[in-house]
Amino acid sequence: MSLAAPHHTNLAELLRRVAIFAELDEEGLRDLAARMQTRTFPAQAVIVTLEEPGESLFIVAEGRAKAVLYGESGREIILSMFRPGEFFGEMSLLDHRPRSANVIALEDAKLYSLDRRSFEQHLARHRQTALAMLAELSRRLRKADEVIGNLALLDVYARVGRILRDLAKEQGEQAEGGVLLRNRPTQQEMASMVGTSRETVSRALSDFAKRGLLDISGRKILLRWAFLRQLDDAS
């Protein structure tokens, strides 16, 4: 891990894209930018460790990270993925308890961190950040509720379908015949998101492909309109 002084111009641009800071004025953004430190982590590095004391909030500038828990046999459960403009590590700052999950870099990652004192001072001065943080926590709880509901109510194929539909909504591009995902998660990652094995995800994807519902080519996947319509009808 390396620590360096932040580059303020780029940082202010990035902060403007972060949902919880979107309402801040120039002064608020400058205040935040001045308090942040740059940190870089290589792919697979552990950024946050479960049960450790947590003293900072992280914002992703480059690369992706995943929040994970490990089951008894070492099976990985992915709780969430964080892309540029997203944040993690807020829970320990808010409830003063140890980290609730591990967060691991999926690729070489550049992050900005904000320590507890700066976070608290900023929240005290900028009510809009506190309210936006509550909205984001509600959004995450809704998503977690949906995952819990899906685990109980849907079979694995439907869960894999939902993951693909959510990704299409978040980062898909309109293409001929459907929505294109350029950088889909690996089969192992999808398995860890829906609570099943890699083999089952592989089977579901090839069955969907055989039925003409999607086309896979390397990390690219085209979700055909018929597939997206079916998933929407089912929800």
Contacting residues toward ligand CMP, per CB under 6 A: 48, 54, 67, 79-80, 88-92, 99-101, 103, 140, 144
Which residue's CB is nearer to ligand CMP, number 147 or number 158? 147
The gap between the terminal CA atoms of the chain, to the nearest Å, is 43
Q: How far is the CB of 98 from ligand CMP (least distance, A)?
A: 8
Q: How far is the CB of 57 from ligand CMP (least distance, A)?
A: 8
Largest interatomic CA distance in the chain: 56
Question: How far is the CA of 139 from the CAs of 63, 109, 142, 143, 144, in angstroms?
Answer: 22, 25, 5, 6, 9
Which residue's CB is nearer to ligand CMP, number 114 or number 205? 114
Q: How far is the CB of 46 from ligand CMP (least distance, A)?
A: 11
Which residue's CB is nearer to ligand CMP, number 67 or number 205? 67
Which residue's CB is nearer to ligand CMP, number 81 or number 213? 81
Q: How far is the CB of 114 from ligand CMP (least distance, A)?
A: 12
Helices (H) and strands (E) in the chain, counts: 9, 13
Which residue's CB is nearer to ligand CMP, number 103 or number 204? 103
Q: Which of the 8 DSSP states describes residue 19? A: G
- C-alpha to C-alpha distance for 225 and 227, rounded to whole angstroms: 5
Which residue's CB is nearer to ligand CMP, number 24 or number 90? 90
Q: How far is the CB of 50 from ligand CMP (least distance, A)?
A: 8
Structural element, H or E, at residue 2: strand 2-4
Give the residue among 78, 27, 84, 42 at the shortest CA–CA distance from 60.
84
* DSSP string computed for 117-146: HHHHHHHHH-HHHHHHHHHHHHHHHHHHHH
Q: How far is the CB of 28 from ligand CMP (least distance, A)?
A: 22
Q: Token pair for residue 226?
A: 């018929």
